[in-house]
Chain A
Amino acid sequence: MLRFLVRRVFGAMVILLIISAVTFWLFYAVPRDPAMMSCGKNCTPENLEQIRKNLGIDESIIMQYWHWLAGIFTGRDYGGYGYCDAPCLGYSFANNEPVFGTIMNRMPLTLSLAFGSAAFFLVIGVGAGMLAALKQGKFLDKFASSVSLLGSSLQIYFVGYIAMFFLVSQLGIFSQPSYTPLTENPAAWVSGLLLPWLVLSIIFTANYTRMTRSQMVEQLSEDYVRTARAKGLSRANVFFRFAWRGAMGPIVTLFGIDLGTLIGGAIITESVFSLQGVGRLAVQAVDQSDLPMQLGVTVLAAGAIVFFNIVVDAVYALIDPRIRLA
């Protein structure tokens, strides 16, 4: 297990390194001068030079990348803005705020959105899929399968607005989605995010229902299930003690991918519901040619994806004892 973790974490580091380097290179592939932009109209060459120095872009791209990288581990001294502590991702070109702090400010919303909707779509999706597999060929199965097929064809930028139109502006059942920190007021936290959670889960649930169903159906036709049944174990016992373990593998994989993507910022969801999370930050950063912010969000998003990949593989081994991590 330890060897596995060490190897995978090392691999993840390499991937993050490459992704950040690509982002860096991409940014400068378009000729632009961030110093020019923050310098404004009455820009003297001295001013420009000072700004370049402050932003840390007076060096070659490779050196800039190196300093950025070093800053994450050791902190970094920015002439104009003072010292930036250890996980230092630099200062935003656009508003001179520290990148790490800004992302951390936005993080609670994005995490709430991700985990809240994940709880919904995991429970509903897997539950519906299991029910459908149990009642194979019956009405419930057909109903669940059709609904999930429809759900997988829906798009958040359509369903989101339709839901907002009917449930918020017409019927007034929900209030305009908003974010209140959980620690401040749990009731407001739930009521503000309930609509985005539900809409997100409509779309995500479908995949889980379909996959759980097909996996369970496959597992139930395996020999070990027949053996267990022949031995006299009850249907429910076989179903809930053995069959589901075999079926969970691909679902864990899917869940890992989805969670990683959601934490990297549900960009469209946040736009639809006008929520200020990490996803919006990313779009903003690209719009404003804000390299440090763009890098920070990208590395974070990629980090979330890579992290959950590792978690998925570890969980895989826990639920399926046949898999050994080497």
Chain B
Amino acid sequence: MTPPTPSAAAPLEVTDESAPASPAPATSQGNESRSPGRLAWTRFKRDKTGVVSAGIVIFFFVIALAAPLIAKLYGKDPYTTYASQRPELLNAFSYPAGPNGGMSSEFWFGIEPQLGRDVFTFLLYGIRTSLGIALAATLLTCLVGVVVGITAGYLGGRTDYFVGRVIDILLSFPSTLFFIAFMPVVYGLFVADDENIPTSLRAVSLILVLAVFGWASLARLLRGQVLGLREREFVEAAKVTGASPWRIVFKELLPNLWTPIIIQSTLMLPAFVTAEAGLAFLGVGIIDPTPDWGVMIQRGAQFYTEDITFMLFPGLSMVIFVLAFNLLGDSVRDALDPKSKR
């Protein structure tokens, strides 16, 4: 997974530098009726690239959510091996009989070689699985990163030192290698050695493992921000008036941290999508009968020399999604943090 993981770390580095320069839009200068959020929204609406890519990203999430509905209207499912009922769909070498991977009005995206499943529904459900896992992992990672980062920054002292060292170590882990080594361990915690691993457990384990190795960079970033905010007057004022630490963290600090949190999560989600697919590709994540972006690419890799069409659908759709999400992330950053340069 070389590309996904390092590049997951790389963009985080970029914002590390731009974000601290702008301590969140806490200062509304006399524009009574316009909150910082509104201002950002107005800026975002003016950005055409951002709006288009937001549309594409929303489209992906909608088809992921509506996959069962679409499959029902379309009349097929991703598990049935259509070729076993109708052998004429595949030729003598088990490759789609029709041109372009067997694309037709009946099978829109063609047929899978060998097993003869329907590519369209398989991709649809695959996107559903991949996005679901990536979204859950992003939420969990943000939660852990935010809690740990703020706590370390706010408490300081020994907690901060300890958390800092843990982050150092986590960031030195060869992450792909640990994903691979860690997955069997997480499975082992839940099921005995020779039992089958249910898909839901695979998904949960993936989310856990991605989050365990993902929170460190967000926590480090937020810790730095909190260190700066902690000394500001409004926190002082809250302390003097006797606010509890919980109140200070949630009502005083957190609202000032939404910008970096949102920016980081827009970088995180596509990185998790590609990391998850990479693990499935290596055979340690989601595995075959379950539809998944990475599983499709792995299947496609087995017969790419004969039928490249099957590979193109998951590959291109993933490129489009990741590209749109990256563009969206840039626009969101520009909207929330207009001073940052990229």
Partners in one complex: yes
Chain A residues whose C-beta falls within 8 Å of the C-beta of B278 in the assembled complex: 155, 157, 268
Complex: chain A residue closest to B316, CB-CB = A158
User: Is B315's beta carbon under 8 Å from chain A?
Assistant: yes
Q: How far is the CA of A200 from the CA of B297 in the complex (A)?
A: 18
User: A26-B182, A283-B282 are known contacts. Are A302 and B173 too (CB-CB below 8 A)?
Assistant: yes
User: Is B66's beta carbon under 8 Å from chain A?
Assistant: no
Chain B residues whose C-beta falls within 8 Å of the C-beta of A15 in the assembled complex: 168-169, 172
Range class of the B interface residue count: 35 or more
Q: Do the beta carbons of A29 and B282 come within 8 Å of each other?
A: no
Q: How far is the CA of A164 from the CA of B304 in the complex (A)?
A: 9
User: Is B274's beta carbon under 8 Å from chain A?
Assistant: yes
User: Is B341's beta carbon under 8 Å from chain A?
Assistant: yes
User: A157-B281, A214-B342, A257-B9 are known contacts. Are A302 and B304 too (CB-CB below 8 A)?
Assistant: no
* B interface footprint on A184-204 (CB within 8 Å = 1, 0 otherwise): 000000000000000010011
The contact of B301 among A161, A267, A301, A302, by CB within 8 Å, is A161
Q: Do the beta carbons of B180 and A257 come within 8 Å of each other?
A: no
Q: Do the beta carbons of A31 and B341 come within 8 Å of each other?
A: no
Chain B residues whose C-beta falls within 8 Å of the C-beta of A304 in the assembled complex: 174
User: Is B227's beta carbon under 8 Å from chain A?
Assistant: no
Q: Do the beta carbons of B188 and A153 come within 8 Å of each other?
A: no
Q: How far is the CA of A204 from the CA of B11 in the complex (A)?
A: 12
Q: How far is the CB of B296 from chain A (nearest CB, A)?
A: 10
The contact of A297 among B10, B177, B189, by CB within 8 Å, is B177
User: Is B305's beta carbon under 8 Å from chain A?
Assistant: yes
Chain B residues whose C-beta falls within 8 Å of the C-beta of A309 in the assembled complex: 172
Tell me the residues in window 284-342 of chain B with beta carbons closer than 8 Å to chain A beta carbons: 284, 294, 297-298, 300-301, 304-305, 308, 311-312, 314-315, 318-319, 322-323, 326-327, 341-342
Q: Do the beta carbons of A266 and B2 come within 8 Å of each other?
A: yes
Chain B residues whose C-beta falls within 8 Å of the C-beta of A112 in the assembled complex: none
Q: How far is the CA of A269 from the CA of B297 in the complex (A)?
A: 14
Q: How far is the CA of A265 from the CA of B327 in the complex (A)?
A: 30
The contact of A305 among B1, B3, B174, B326, by CB within 8 Å, is B174
Q: How far is the CA of A203 from the CA of B176 in the complex (A)?
A: 17
Q: Do the beta carbons of B3 and A204 come within 8 Å of each other?
A: yes
Q: How far is the CB of A184 from chain B (nearest CB, A)?
A: 26
The contact of B4 among A155, A265, A283, A302, by CB within 8 Å, is A155
Chain A residues whose C-beta falls within 8 Å of the C-beta of B323 in the assembled complex: 149-150, 153
Q: Do the beta carbons of A31 and B277 come within 8 Å of each other?
A: no
* B interface footprint on A19-58 (CB within 8 Å = 1, 0 otherwise): 1000100110111100000000000000000000000000
**Interface of chain B, helix or strand or loop or mixed?**
helix
User: Is B13's beta carbon under 8 Å from chain A?
Assistant: yes
User: Is B195's beta carbon under 8 Å from chain A?
Assistant: no
User: Is A227's beta carbon under 8 Å from chain B?
Assistant: no
User: Is A99's beta carbon under 8 Å from chain B?
Assistant: no
Q: Do the beta carbons of B184 and A286 come within 8 Å of each other?
A: yes
User: Is A209's beta carbon under 8 Å from chain B?
Assistant: no
Chain A residues whose C-beta falls within 8 Å of the C-beta of B180 in the assembled complex: 267, 282-283, 286
User: Is A154's beta carbon under 8 Å from chain B?
Assistant: yes
Complex: chain B residue closest to A11, CB-CB = B168
The contact of A161 among B181, B184, B300, by CB within 8 Å, is B300
Q: Do the beta carbons of B174 and A261 come within 8 Å of each other?
A: yes
Q: Do the beta carbons of A211 and B14 come within 8 Å of each other?
A: yes
Chain B residues whose C-beta falls within 8 Å of the C-beta of A203 in the assembled complex: 3, 7
Q: How far is the CB of A48 from chain B (nearest CB, A)?
A: 18
User: A152-B7, A165-B305 are known contacts. Are A282 and B282 too (CB-CB below 8 A)?
Assistant: no
Tell me the residues in window 52-89 of chain A with beta carbons closer than 8 Å to chain B beta carbons: none
Q: How far is the CB of B203 from chain A (nearest CB, A)?
A: 19
Q: How far is the CA of A189 from the CA of B92 in the complex (A)?
A: 39
Complex: chain B residue closest to A18, CB-CB = B169
Q: Do the beta carbons of A165 and B308 come within 8 Å of each other?
A: yes
User: Is A320's beta carbon under 8 Å from chain B?
Assistant: no
Q: Do the beta carbons of B181 and A153 come within 8 Å of each other?
A: no
Q: How far is the CA of A31 from the CA of B176 in the complex (A)?
A: 23
Q: How far is the CB of A205 from chain B (nearest CB, A)?
A: 11
User: Is A169's beta carbon under 8 Å from chain B?
Assistant: yes
User: A155-B278, A157-B278, A161-B300 are known contacts. Are A207 and B10 too (CB-CB below 8 A)?
Assistant: yes
Q: Do the beta carbons of A261 and B6 come within 8 Å of each other?
A: yes
- Counting chain B CB atoms within 10 Å of each CB, which of A26, A266, A297 scores highest? A26
Complex: chain B residue closest to A210, CB-CB = B342
User: Is B185's beta carbon under 8 Å from chain A?
Assistant: yes
Complex: chain B residue closest to A278, CB-CB = B177
User: Is A92's beta carbon under 8 Å from chain B?
Assistant: no
Tell me the residues in window 1-34 of chain B with beta carbons closer than 8 Å to chain A beta carbons: 1-7, 9-11, 13-14, 17
User: Is A258's beta carbon under 8 Å from chain B?
Assistant: yes
Q: Do the beta carbons of B326 and A161 come within 8 Å of each other?
A: no
Which 4 A-B pairs have CB atoms at the shortest separation, nearest pair first? A30-B188, A301-B174, A158-B315, A153-B323
Task: Show 24 residue pairs from A and B whose CB-CB distance is below 8 angstroms, ordered by the A residue.
Answer: A15-B169, A154-B319, A155-B3, A157-B278, A157-B297, A157-B298, A158-B297, A158-B318, A162-B311, A165-B311, A204-B3, A210-B342, A214-B342, A250-B13, A257-B10, A258-B6, A261-B176, A264-B174, A268-B281, A286-B181, A301-B174, A302-B172, A304-B174, A305-B174
> Which residues does A use to contact B, with CB under 8 Å?
15, 18-19, 23, 26-27, 29-32, 149-150, 152-158, 161-162, 164-165, 169, 200, 203-204, 207, 210-211, 214, 217-218, 250, 253-254, 257-258, 261-262, 264-269, 271-272, 279, 282-283, 286, 294, 297-298, 301-302, 304-306, 309
Q: A157-B301, A294-B181, A305-B173 are in contact. List 12 more A-B contacts (CB 8 A).
A: A15-B172, A32-B193, A150-B323, A153-B323, A158-B311, A161-B301, A162-B311, A257-B6, A257-B9, A258-B6, A269-B2, A283-B180
